[in-house]
Structure 1
Amino acid sequence: MTVNFDNLNLLPEIKDLLIRANSPYLSKRELSNYLKVSESFIKQKLYSGEFVENLHFFKIGDAKIIFDRLEIDKWIRVQASKGENDGKPLPKGREALSKYLSQWKESHSSDRA
């Protein structure tokens, strides 16, 4: 049996990647990748006060901010539970889907009665 040790030099980098992947904290860039949004979206939520310091994020020093992945997950669920885009108009494609779902709910709720 032949063992190839060519990639042993990659082990420290792989270790660092695994540690970061399992960390409960995220940088702005990591959070934007995690949520699949732009970094400017993250900054907007910070400046608007929607992300709360010492809940959703923590400051380290004057400039470094880290986000709590679990609290961000809770925030996502709250946003999703608000429904219809938080009172904002839905994009046209989604208006039809929303209307269809509302009609479906009504028709199925009358079946139960």
Structure 2
Amino acid sequence: MNISFENLEKIDTILDKLNALEQKISSEKRWLNVSETAHYLGYSKDHIHKLKNEHFLQGVHYHKKAGRVLFDKIELDKWVTTSLSKVDTKEIINNVLKGVL
């Protein structure tokens, strides 16, 4: 395998960029309050509350702690990137519960 010296010289630059990205990712806030979540997703706070009640799952997308609602940024990213054609998880849970009760 032949590797040119030009490419070897780029390794330090690549490592510097990877380290910068890693620092940025690790310094970002994971848990967001309602206002931060609204800003992050580009929705109003009222719409965030509606999403919380209709689409988000407690213990997955958000957690209640000491009277506050905190949203998990990682789970929000997953929710945003999933296909809209997928069946709503809360709808499935409600249908199962209706069948059990």
TM class by shorter chain equals: 0.5 to 0.7
Q: Percent identity?
A: 27
Alignment correspondent of 1:47: 53
1:60 equivalent in alignment to 2:62: no
1:74 is paired with a residue of what secondary structure? helix
| Structure 1 SS opposite 2:58 | coil
- Give the structure 2 partner of residue 29 of structure 1: 35
Task: Tell me the TM-score normalised to structure 1 length.
Answer: 0.49
- Residue in 2 aligned with 1:8? none
Which residues in structure 2 correspond to 1:57-96 (within 5 Å)? 57-61=62-66, 63-78=67-82, 81-82=83-84
Greater relative CO, 1 or 2 (CA 8 Å, sep 6+): 2
Q: With structure 2 as the length reference, what TM-score do the two structures score? A: 0.55
RMSD over equivalenced CA pairs, Å: 2.1
Query: 2:95: which partner in 1?
Result: none
Give unpaired runs (5+ residues) of structure 1: 1-20, 84-113
